[in-house]
A and B are shown apart, each in its own frame.
Chain A
């Protein structure tokens, strides 16, 4: 089952093309939507919610068409915006109950769901105080709670870790993982920090300048980044030449050489080359397996 799919989705504003013939699809689970600021992540979410029409192309969310069935989509979907969106003079409880009712829950059910959801996101006694006095971490939790309160099938979380300190970031990421696994709600989470997505996502979609760079599972991403970093005291050019002769993919980063690991034989090749050239080996380090690396390479090659 596909939770969302786009086909040639394009959104042009008078001065800028926010999305350019984007064709992607996402399966249930936690999907990361990665891109720099202005890559078109928020525009994509607005199109999928049916808040603004596409210039060209089509999309489906949970099998529904945003152009014709926006209300049905919004009934089954939650949305946590990137920006501040909370009124300061009401309590979290009152606000989340109100938002539940706006999603069509009867009053009693809205109260029960709001209490449950606020507890799940980790807000306890504070929830009776006006939101104006909350810390950034608590506000992000309220924002998440209002997106989950009507028990959606899918939530769009736009930059949920924005403005959080490292601990708050970890807690938010753990919470997102729980939403995707324990709660059984599919998640589309955007971020421009790629490192944090690989901790929570099953699948990552990378967009840049409104175009799809790649879409693949986390496993494929980290597989592609298998590499070994080699540092020698001197003679790295000779080593690079020798390794290239042996059919290895070598890139030089200053004093360091990065060798792509295609098979275990790569390690043997590095060892043999260093011995043959009689070089003094300083460091031999496993690549960091970060999506950043792939992203950087792909962006620079576009």
Chain B
């Protein structure tokens, strides 16, 4: 990597001199467009989420959490192999593992955006042929890809396990595919919310606390409301209250689109519940992306 620049081939007829230092050379090669830079930043950021190319301690948290995400899949495969009985259902995976996903999101999304703000690297990106939108898209894509990996890898492992174990009856291919498709929505929603919240503070610790607080608050409010509403006999309202938790919001979309069992165990509002949940998820994503764009437009001008 540090090899000296290759000297131009000396003419064979007159091998008279050796060039030791050819000095500064101009770059004559190709210059690629914005798409290339966007892909490079996405790749760089995704590596950063998992601590690759960083010191060892940056790898501990993401790989620990990714390992925990694999546990239910491993247990499930063992159950299928030994007890000949299904463990965890594909569509319920994200809902059951929501705390781990939330911790991953909280721990890793500030690392994606906070250092660029704190160490003021952002002006270097913005003084290059990239727009603020490119930066935002790359960061979102990296976080969404990380969440997608966290979900798709255990789901796929479990599905491969199911095919290998060869349980009686057909494999649950439709449920597997439904869970994969829903993972994309999980990735987009969680990634955009996490990165948007984290981008508002250059301090990493504060970002971690803010993201986890938003998750804890939404799940607590949702849980309390469900309990209260059930106790006063307002069952339909209680079903709506589940949707305050972003994980159950996406699960409700899955429940509506693919007719899978609900992860809340309680069902979701019948009728317009599914479409409303999908709409709400999309509105949240749009709001988060708008907030990010607004935030970085401001950062660019300062």
Chain A residues with a Cβ under 8 A of chain B: 49, 51-52, 71-72, 74-75, 77, 79, 81, 83-90, 93-94, 98-99, 101-107, 109, 111-113, 115-116, 119-120, 130, 146, 150-151, 182-184
Contact = CB atoms under 8 A, between A and B. Distances in A.
A103 B119 contact: no
Interface residues of B, number: 40
Contacts of B131: 71
Interface of B: 1-3, 5, 23-27, 29-34, 36-37, 40-41, 44, 53-55, 58, 115-116, 119-121, 123-131, 300-301
A46 to B, nearest CB: 8
Q: What 8 A-B pairs are tightest by C-beta distance, nearest first?
A: A151-B27, A79-B127, A101-B40, A183-B24, A104-B31, A75-B129, A71-B129, A104-B32
Given A49-B127, A79-B123, A112-B5, A87 B27 contact: no
7 contacts: A52-B300, A72-B129, A81-B123, A87-B121, A101-B36, A104-B37, A111-B1
A267 to B, nearest CB: 45
A85 B118 CA distance: 9
A79 B23 CA distance: 22
Contact of A86 (B3, B53, B119): B119
Contacts, number: 110
Provide the main secondary structure of the chain B interface.
loop
B23 A182 contact: yes
A164 B300 CA distance: 27
A48 to B, nearest CB: 10
B34 A120 contact: no
B55 to A, nearest CB: 6
A102 B25 contact: no
Contacts of B115: 87, 89
A42 to B, nearest CB: 10
Most buried by A among B24, B30, B33, B127: B127
Most buried by B among A79, A94, A105: A105
Nearest to B38: A102
Contacts of B128: 74-75, 99, 102-103
